[in-house]
Amino acid sequence: MTEGNPAAPGLRERKKKATRAALVAAAVRLAAEHGAENVTVDAISEAAGVSARTFFNYFDARDDVFVMIGAESSARVRQAVLAAPPDVPPLEALRDAIASELAEIEQHQELWRLHSEVLRRSPHLLARSIGAHLADELALAETLAERIGTGSPLFSEERPDSASPDDVRRRRALGLYPRLLAAVGVTAVRVAVEHWCVRQDEVAFADVFRETFEQLAAGLPAPAPADR
């Protein structure tokens, strides 16, 4: 622990995070150059400077490195939402939790772009990625429901990274508000990233992100003609 900051990750946790990030970066760059179907676990591990055995300490299968790259980040967002002060509105708690995870996005924009290209060129990876995002969204909705006091008896922070057989029961146990808020939050992040990616010379990502959630908080009022 870092003195004065009990929430700071320890050395072991930082090393694990760095290794996972190195594996993801190596996989994405190799797939962008050679095609995902031509990239092996051995090649990814070698490029990241670790053994294939180490790879399987982080991912159950090769494809997981392409479609589950945000699993740890999603878990931290959910934990931060639950830990936010009680007087913070749910949308603000969600915004702040996501913002802390996206703080370094501008330094990793090239990797984001390459990852999008890899998914577009690999339909089976894109399909799996969509499934993983839907599972994350469901878990986030459950977290938001827990925060606002309408939590489900099925709620658990120990959720798998992919859809599970009890998804239907979990969705039935949720109210509309937490499901809508989770979906809106996830979509807002995607739109903010896409909007910024084509305007990097004009605006900082932090400004786009802040404006996105300001508009949501204001109820999406219609902009003036010149601003549309």
Per-residue pLDDT tens digits for 148-167: 988 777 776 665 544 455 77
Average pLDDT of the residues in 187-207: 85
Task: Identify the band that residue 106 occupies on the pLDDT scale cut at 50, 70 and 90.
Answer: low
Task: Identify the band that residue 82 occupies on the pLDDT scale cut at 50, 70 and 90.
Answer: very high
Of 44, 67, 90, which marks where a domain is finished? 67
Q: Which residues contact 211 (CB under 8 A, 6 or more apart)?
A: none
Enter the pTM of the model: 0.77
Residue ranges making up the domain that contains 98: 70-219
Higher pLDDT, 156 or 198: 198
Give the count of domains, the chain. Answer: 2
Contact present, 34 and 52 (Cβ < 8 Å): no
pLDDT of residue 123: 92
Q: Do residues 50 and 81 share a domain?
A: no
Burial 111-124 (b: 16+ CB within 10 A, else e): beebbbebbeebee
Of 67, 85, 112, which marks where a domain is finished? 67
Q: Do residues 76 and 59 share a domain?
A: no
CA distance 107 to 30: 19
> 2: which strand partners?
5
Structure tokens at 224: 């003036």
Structure tokens at 181: 């808020």
Q: Tokens 């190596």 belong to which residue?
A: 26
Q: What is the percentage of the chain residues whose pLDDT exceeds 70? A: 87
Q: Cα dihedral angle (53, 56, 58, 60), rounded to 10 degrees?
A: 180
Q: Do residues 15 and 74 share a domain?
A: no
Is the model's pLDDT at 224 over the cut of 70?
yes
Q: What is the percentage of the chain residues whose pLDDT exceeds 90? A: 49
CA distance 83 to 88: 10
pLDDT of residue 5: 45
pLDDT in tens, 10-37: 888 888 888 998 999 999 999 999 999 9
36 lies in some domain = yes
